[in-house]
Every structure is written in structure tokens, then in C-alpha cells.
Amino acid sequence: MSAELPVPEPSAVSAPFWDATRRHELTMQRCESCSRLVWYPRFVCPHCGGLSLRWEKLSGGGVVYAVSVHHRAALPALADKVPYSVVLVDLDEGVRLMSSVFGPPPAVGERVGLAWVPLDDGRNLAVFERQR
């Protein structure tokens, strides 16, 4: 399914994030001025305007905040994945992230963990899976 998935090309600011997915690592920037996590990748901290943002590896664990179950694929590449869920996950580190869960839909409040969908160029797409 990876062939037609539209995935952003890495930009100067997001390249470290995408490089880390090659190692199956979910990373996010942390501001060295206010210590808050910054998502999505940026040059300037949206919380305090700080310019020093350092990349940090996250646990990949979290709790589902919201679920939208899709019974019709939004993209041809997802045709064999229905039903799938678009989810908002509150990561253990305190950041809310939009992603997907393939397979049976998770419930709001359910714990999920990181999983990876390989892309054709060696990068991986971060998705989540229900904890068994």
C-alpha cells in the first residue's frame, strides 16, 4: 500500500524527523528556552518564540483522545485497509498527534502504541496500534 500514499517530502526543518523514521524512532523538537515539545517541526518555538529547538526521541505510547472510523478509503492506497481509524493520540509526553490505526477501531481512552508502515524510499510512516 505504500506506493501511492502521499507522504510529504522532507523539508529542511522536517528532515531530522523523517531520518529518524528510518530507525523506527518517533522524534519531536523540544524548545531549550521553555522546555515544551513542539509539533509539527518548526524553526521557531510556537510557545515562546525560542530559536533553539533540539530533537528528542519519544516513547511512542499514548492514549486515544478521538477516533474517526473510515469505512470508505480516502485514498486508493488505503483501499485494502478499510475500515481504518483516523485518531488523535495524546502521547505520554503530553503532545496530541493525528495518526491512523489499522484494524479494529480503538476506543476513546484506550492505550495505543507506535507501529510503522514502510514507505518505498526507506522512510516509515508512524501509525498506532491497539495494545494487546
- Which residues of this protein are in contact with Zn ion, per CB under 5 A? 31, 33-34, 45, 47-48, 50
Smallest distance from Zn ion to CB 121, Å: 32
Which CB atom, from 34 or from 98, has the smaller least distance to Zn ion?
Answer: 34
What's the Cα-to-Cα distance from 115 to each of 9, 18, 21, 25, 26, rounded to whole Å? Answer: 21, 15, 11, 10, 10
Using DSSP's 3-state secondary structure scheme, residue 21 falls into helix
Contact in structure between 99 and 125 (CB atoms under 8 Å): no
Which CB atom, from 54 or from 132, has the smaller least distance to Zn ion?
Answer: 54
Smallest distance from Zn ion to CB 41, Å: 14
Cα–Cα distance for residue pair 77/83, rounded to 1 Å:
13
Which CB atom, from 50 or from 113, has the smaller least distance to Zn ion?
Answer: 50
Smallest distance from Zn ion to CB 17, Å: 18
